[in-house]
Amino acid sequence: MKKTLLLFLSILAWSVSFSQVDNQDSTLVVVEGQEGEVAYNEGIDLFSSGDYKAAIDKFNTAIEFNSKFSKAYFNRGSAKEKINDLDGAMADYTAAIENDSTGNYAEPYYTRGKIKYTKGNNDEAMKDFLSAIDKGFKSANLFYFSGVIQFQIEDYDKAIEYYTKAIEVDSKHAYSYNDRGSCKRKKEDIEGAIKDYRMATELDPKLALAYDNLAVVLAKNQNEEESIKASNKAIKIKPDFYIAYNNRGSVKFFVKKYDEAIKDFEKAIEIKSDYAYAYNNLGNAKNKLKDYKGALEALNKAIEIMPEYGVAYMNRGIVKEMLRDREGRCADWKKAVELGVEQAKIYAQECK
C-alpha cells in the first residue's frame, strides 16, 4: 500500500498590536476663575510632557472641585493607563461615561474596551467597542481590535469588515492589512491574502510576522522560491522568530531539501525548546533521510510536549513500521484515529 507522509505546517502566526491610547481627549477647558478647570488644564500640560503622575495629581484636584468632571476622569484614566494602572484606568473610564451629561462621549468606551480586551474579556470589550462605534467614534485601532475579536471567534467575514474600516480610517494601518490577509487565508482566498500581506510588508518593512504569513500563503500557492525569500526576510528582521524557521523548513521539506529543512527545524527548537510542531517536522525530515532512530526521538519529543498531537502519533507510527515495530505502529495509528486524524484511518486498516 502506498503511504503518503503528512507534514504538519505550523499554525499561521499573527499578532495583535497593543497600542497606547490613541486620539486621547486633551481638550483644554478655559473658564476663568474656576480652580477645577485650572487644575485640569495643568494636568493636560503635564500629560503632554509625559509627567503622568503629576498629571494624575492635577486631575485629582479637578475632580475634587467638580465630581462630575467627565473629561477629568477620562484624562486621569489615560494617565493611569500610561503608568500601567489598568484597573484604575478602567474605573476612571467608567466614571467618565457615568458622568457624561451629553450621552455622546464615545472615546471612554473604546479605551475601557481595550483594557477589557487586554484582560481577555472579549465579550465585554466588544460591547464597549460597539458603543464607541454607535456614538460615532472613528479610530483605526478601534476597528482593528474589533476585527481581532471577530477573528478569534472565527467570524472571518465580520472581521474583514472591521479591518477594512480600519484601513478606511488609516490607509497605512499595516496590522489591519496583515490580519485581513489572515482572514482571507482562512476563507481560502489565497490571492487576496497574498495581496494583503504584501501591502502590510510595504507599509511596514519591519513587520516580520507579515513576511512570515506571506511565506505561508506563497507556499500554499506552490511558489516555494518566493516563499523561502519571504521567510528569509522575516528571519533577518527577527532572528529569534522560531515560527519562521519552522515554516521555511517546511517549504524546504516539500522541495526535498531535507538537510536544509532539518537545520531550520533544529534552529526553531533551539529558540523554543517546547515547540512540538518543529519536533514533528524534524522527525519527518529525518525519516526521509532514513535516520529512523533520530526521527523516533524527535516524534517522541513532539508527543511528550503535546500528548494530544494526533499527526505526530500517525507519523511516529510510520517510523515504527520502518523499524519493524508492528505492535507499536498500530498503537500509534489507532491513537491518531482517536484524536481525529482522518489520514491515519488508512494506515490503521493494516492493524485489523
pLDDT classification of 25: cutoffs 50, 70, 90: low
Please indicate whether residue 6 or residue 91 has the higher confidence score (pLDDT): 91
Mean pLDDT for the chain overall: 91
Q: Three-state secondary structure along 278-314?
A: HHHHHHHHHHHCCCHHHHHHHHHHHHHHCCCCHHHHH
189-240 pLDDT tens trace = 999 999 999 999 999 999 999 999 999 999 999 999 999 999 999 999 999 9
User: What DSSP element (H or E) covers 205?
Assistant: none
- Per residue in 85-97, is it b (16+ CB within 10 Å) or e — as a string? bbebbbbbbbbbb
State the helix-helix crossing angle for 107-118 and 122-134, rounded to 10 degrees: 160
Q: Is 196 exposed, middle or buried (0-12, 13-18, 19+ CB in 10 A)?
A: buried
Distance CA 268, CA 231 (A): 13
Residue spans of beta strands (DSSP E) within 166-277: none
- Taking alpha carbons only, the member of 211, 177, 237 closest to residue 13 is 211
pLDDT classification of 352: cutoffs 50, 70, 90: confident
Please, what is the Cα angle at 33 between 28 and 35, to 5 degrees? 70
Distance CA 288, CA 1 (A): 18
- Per residue in 259-285, is it b (16+ CB within 10 Å) or e — as a string? ebbbbbbbbbbebbeebbbbbbbbbbb
Give the pLDDT score at 11: 31
% helix, strand, coil for the chain, step of 5: 70, 0, 30
Give the pLDDT score at 27: 57
3-18 pLDDT tens trace = 333 333 333 333 333 3
Q: What domains can you pick out in the chain, each with its CATH number?
A: 26-137 (1.25.40.10), 138-239 (1.25.40.10)
148-175 pLDDT tens trace = 999 999 999 999 999 999 999 999 999 9
pLDDT classification of 35: cutoffs 50, 70, 90: confident
Whose cell is 494617565? That residue is 79
Whose cell is 519493524? That residue is 324
Q: Is the pLDDT of residue 299 over 50?
A: yes
Mean pLDDT of the 279-290 span: 98
User: Chain centroid to CA 352: how far?
Assistant: 43
Give the pLDDT score at 8: 32
Please indicate whether residue 56 or residue 29 has the higher confidence score (pLDDT): 56
59-85 pLDDT tens trace = 999 999 999 999 999 999 999 999 999
pLDDT classification of 350: cutoffs 50, 70, 90: confident
pLDDT classification of 34: cutoffs 50, 70, 90: confident
Give the pLDDT score at 104: 92
Q: Is the pLDDT of residue 295 over 70?
A: yes
Give the pLDDT score at 53: 97
Q: Is the pLDDT of residue 267 over 70?
A: yes
40-58 pLDDT tens trace = 999 999 999 999 999 999 9
Give the pLDDT score at 26: 56
Q: What is the phi/psi pair of residue 249, to 5°?
A: -65, -35
